[in-house]
Structure 1
Amino acid sequence: MTILTRIGLLGACTVAVPAYAQSSSLAIFGHIDVNVTAASAGGSSKVGLDQGGYMLPSRIGLRGTESLGNGNSVGFWLEAPILPNSGGPQGLTWSRRSTISLANERYGELRLGRDYTAAFWNVSSFSPFGTVGVGGSSNIIKGWPLGLDDATTLSRASNMLAYFLPKKLGGVYGQLNYAREEDMDGADYAGGRLGYQSGPLNVAAAYGRTSMGGGEHYETTTVGGSYDFRALKLFANYLLQEVGPDRQHVALAGAAIPVGKGHLKLSYSRSTQSGTHDGDNAQQFAVGYTYALSKRTVLYTAASFIKNDGNAAFVTGDVAPEGVPGENSKGFQVGISHSF
């Protein structure tokens, strides 16, 4: 059965159900993460409070589902970034995610609104530090979280229609995304992701494309995987982002090793560029440790070092001073993270 056929049947199934609800749920959820970070770039240094050092940035949200019967359901998800060190909002009110969806157990899910793009997940999921903190894999990704030049779709897109494969496909998972630009160059998006998960193995590949005007396109290709040996979990991912002749390749290898009540984390990533920024390369080395106080509360620490070449000026996160072309950056942080 083709994906387009599944989408059509999904729409038909959700329209045909009775108007009354069978059951529903509503939840408030969130993640609060605060750390003390010391970082340097070139000859400058800085110390301050930061958020999002342990895998997930701080956020608060509402989500709910309603059963429509016969395996059909409707759901919504509203998620906003927060700055716990000041109590202030960050960016758009519900800029992390704002979606409504129709789902069928057999045919999958249709989701509309602002959400993550397909290519994002391989960078985030297949890294021991995720994309946040001094060890985050995004520290040497140019233009993060928007993309190269004037693109805005590396991690998220607004006005998006997405289709997700049903869960019971023998470990196969995937999605298709399409977003309209709404009169804004660099905001449309078309992409997809396909993966396979079975036991300790998880692998996936994704591609996305955005129109930039003038006939050029911003394109992202990501692949990634992880394998859990129990005594050691390995991670690897690769990102290619390009606009015209400009390209950036970022590759990462990492590991998480259970030690006591926590995990020792290690990663190495390398960025190489060609085109206008040929030779502006970088490497990041990161090490960290997490200690679980409970299932929802974690203490953590991490340190990283970025070696910049050419005119590259990457730094170890948000607290670091402004990057200096060709100069290295270092960062260290200690924090606490709680999910609810």
Structure 2
Amino acid sequence: MKKHWSAALFAAIGGTAAAQSNVTLYGIVDTGVQYYNHAAPSGSLVGMPSLTGELPSRFGLKGTEDLGSGNKAFFVLENGFATDTGGFNNGGRLFGRAANVGVSGLYGTLTLGRQMNMSMLVLNNADVIGPSIHSMASFDNYLPNARSDNAIGYLGQFAGVTLGGTYSFGRDGAGPAGPSGTNCGGEVPGNALACRQYTALLAYDGANYGVAASYDVMRGGTGASAPLTSSAYTDSRTIVDGYVKFGAGKVGFGWIRRNTAAVEHSQSDLYFVGGTYALRPMLSVDAQVSRYVLSDHGGATLLVGRVNYAFSKRTTVYTSVGYMLNGEQTNLPVAAGGTVGAGLNQLGAMVGVQHRF
């Protein structure tokens, strides 16, 4: 349930607003109990996860003001938090998931500030598992955390075609903490390339299917986390995916190619296919298989299955099971933020509850 405050109340707590404006408080609280075996250095783990359940916990404020002629001004402030401890995620930031302002109209939306970039948006329809406890984050923890600081973003939709892009003057100013933290704040005088990033998106969505592609290039900087310790080094991702709907179900699929050009060059490919089906209006099942191949270093395969039962529009219980098959040279965990012994396969499971407001 969303809670709307009047412009007068918003002004009373420190803001100013004109007529026909509103602020919305929203969020997700999602946690449970997880288990996985073969945890490093040895043994198994039972406990509550910090990073994510079926979805990462968050709360936020969204505000809009009607400017007339179909134009609106807006802002978004969104915090990510760990339900097990109450601490902040996303590198300990107060508004680590989003902190931006912008305008929207007939020709699209322009956004300024920390925001989701196109590498996150491109996966929204094809990745049926999403940023869950058992997900493709085990292969690349940037994917569910694809956000850019100091960014200018554009997104426009025209008769089923979506065009989008972001340009960041300094992609990550929060330091090395948190998933995908890289300590690359950028905006360095005399070095226009330091920590810059750009992403682009082209997508088409029809009545029963859709396809999308994105491209993401980030540069390094002095003092940034390895391997991008120089502005001459780059890390790029190309994502191509799609989905098909049929009745109460959907199949999604995709390919992600990552190239890191630093002191040593590395390349990886990530393939995935999954499906979701509503057995009843309140009961749904999801399944996905992902295959990760790292050049000259073997690969790994992740199998995920999940069942969701919705008590209401706001409250859902779920169980998720994942199994990671590691190659001899890989030690990728089945659970987000987890650990695993080198070369060992790993089973993970979680039972959780999610409440939206």
- Normalising by the smaller structure, the TM-score range is 0.7 to 0.9
Output the TM-score relative to the length of structure 2: 0.80
Equivalent in the alignment of 1:97: 98
- The 3-state SS of whatever aligns with 1:50 is coil
Out of 321, 328, 331, the residue aligned to residue 348 of structure 2 is: 331
User: After superposition, what is the alpha-carbon deviation per residue over 1:211-247, rounded to whole angstroms, capped at 9, x for unaligned?
Assistant: 2226321111111111110242101122111112201
2:100 corresponds to 1:111:
no
- The 3-state SS of whatever aligns with 2:251 is strand
Distance in 2, Cα, partners of 1:243 & 1:186: 16
Instruction: Give, as a single letter, the amino acid of the residue that structure 2 aligns with 1:225.
Output: G
User: After superposition, what is the alpha-carbon deviation per residue over 1:2-38, rounded to whole angstroms, capped at 9, x for unaligned?
Assistant: xxxxxxxxxxxxxxxxxx9451111000000011100
Is residue 154–residue 165 contact of structure 2 (8 Å, CA) maintained in 1? Answer: yes
Equivalent in the alignment of 1:230: 247
Q: CA deviation at 1:332?
A: 0.3
User: After superposition, what is the alpha-carbon deviation per residue over 1:127-148, rounded to whole angstroms, capped at 9, x for unaligned?
Assistant: 22102212x122222xx1289x
Distance in 1, Cα, partners of 2:309 & 2:65: 37
Equivalent in the alignment of 1:17: none
Is residue 146–residue 155 contact of structure 1 (8 Å, CA) maintained in 2? Answer: yes
2:146 corresponds to 1:155:
yes
Is residue 157–residue 188 contact of structure 1 (8 Å, CA) maintained in 2? Answer: no
Q: CA deviation at 1:44?
A: 2.1
Is residue 186–residue 210 contact of structure 1 (8 Å, CA) maintained in 2? Answer: no
For residues 60 and 238 of structure 1, do their structure 2 counterparts lie closer, same or farther at Cα, with a shift above 3 Å needed?
A: same
Q: CA deviation at 1:87?
A: 1.9
- The 3-state SS of whatever aligns with 2:122 is helix
How many equivalent residue pairs?
A: 304
Is residue 190–residue 210 contact of structure 1 (8 Å, CA) maintained in 2? Answer: yes
User: After superposition, what is the alpha-carbon deviation per residue over 1:244-267, rounded to whole angstroms, capped at 9, x for unaligned?
Assistant: 220111110001122232111111
Unmatched runs of 5 consecutive residues or more in structure 2: 1-16, 171-185, 221-229
Distance in 2, Cα, partners of 1:229 & 1:318: 31
- The 3-state SS of whatever aligns with 2:118 is coil
Equivalent in the alignment of 2:60: 61
Is residue 122–residue 201 contact of structure 2 (8 Å, CA) maintained in 1? Answer: no
Instruction: Give, as a single letter, the amino acid of the residue that structure 2 aligns with 1:189.
Output: Q
Distance in 2, Cα, partners of 1:157 & 1:242: 19
Is residue 117–residue 157 contact of structure 1 (8 Å, CA) maintained in 2? Answer: yes
Q: CA deviation at 1:124?
A: 4.6
- The 3-state SS of whatever aligns with 2:242 is strand
Distance in 2, Cα, partners of 1:69 & 1:123: 33
Equivalent in the alignment of 2:204: 196
- The 3-state SS of whatever aligns with 1:138 is helix
- The 3-state SS of whatever aligns with 1:93 is coil
Distance in 2, Cα, partners of 1:103 & 1:128: 28
- The 3-state SS of whatever aligns with 1:120 is helix
Is residue 195–residue 231 contact of structure 2 (8 Å, CA) maintained in 1? Answer: no
- The 3-state SS of whatever aligns with 2:114 is strand
User: After superposition, what is the alpha-carbon deviation per residue over 1:21-62, rounded to whole angstroms, capped at 9, x for unaligned?
Assistant: 4511110000000111001236421000125322x2000110
Q: Which has the higher contact order (CA 8 A, sep 6+)?
A: 1
Distance in 2, Cα, partners of 1:191 & 1:96: 17
2:127 corresponds to 1:127:
yes
Equivalent in the alignment of 1:258: 278
Q: CA deviation at 1:319?
A: 6.0
User: After superposition, what is the alpha-carbon deviation per residue over 1:70-127, rounded to whole angstroms, capped at 9, x for unaligned?
Assistant: 11111000000111222222221101011100111x2111100011121222335422
Instruction: Give, as a single letter, the amino acid of the residue that structure 2 aligns with 1:285.
Output: L
- The 3-state SS of whatever aligns with 2:324 is strand
Distance in 2, Cα, partners of 1:39 & 1:309: 18
User: After superposition, what is the alpha-carbon deviation per residue over 1:149-206, rounded to whole angstroms, capped at 9, x for unaligned?
Assistant: xxxxx711100001111x4x11111211100122478732112101111222122100
Q: CA deviation at 1:314?
A: 0.8
2:160 corresponds to 1:174:
no
Unmatched runs of 5 consecutive residues or more in structure 1: 1-19, 148-153
- The 3-state SS of whatever aligns with 1:129 is coil
Equivalent in the alignment of 2:79: 80
Distance in 2, Cα, partners of 1:215 & 1:33: 40
Equivalent in the alignment of 1:36: 33
Instruction: Give, as a single letter, the amino acid of the residue that structure 1 aligns with 2:100.
Output: T
Is residue 283–residue 309 contact of structure 2 (8 Å, CA) maintained in 1? Answer: yes
Moved more, 279-288 or 37-46: 37-46
Distance in 2, Cα, partners of 1:27 & 1:214: 40
Distance in 1, Cα, partners of 2:242 & 2:252: 6
Structure 1 segments (4+ residues) deviating >6 Å: none
For residues 319 and 145 of structure 1, do their structure 2 counterparts lie closer, same or farther at Cα, with a shift above 3 Å needed?
A: closer
Equivalent in the alignment of 2:289: 268
Distance in 2, Cα, partners of 1:318 & 1:114: 23
Instruction: Give, as a single letter, the amino acid of the residue that structure 2 aligns with 1:273.
Output: L
Is residue 123–residue 131 contact of structure 1 (8 Å, CA) maintained in 2? Answer: no
CA RMSD of aligned residues (A): 2.0
- The 3-state SS of whatever aligns with 1:76 is strand
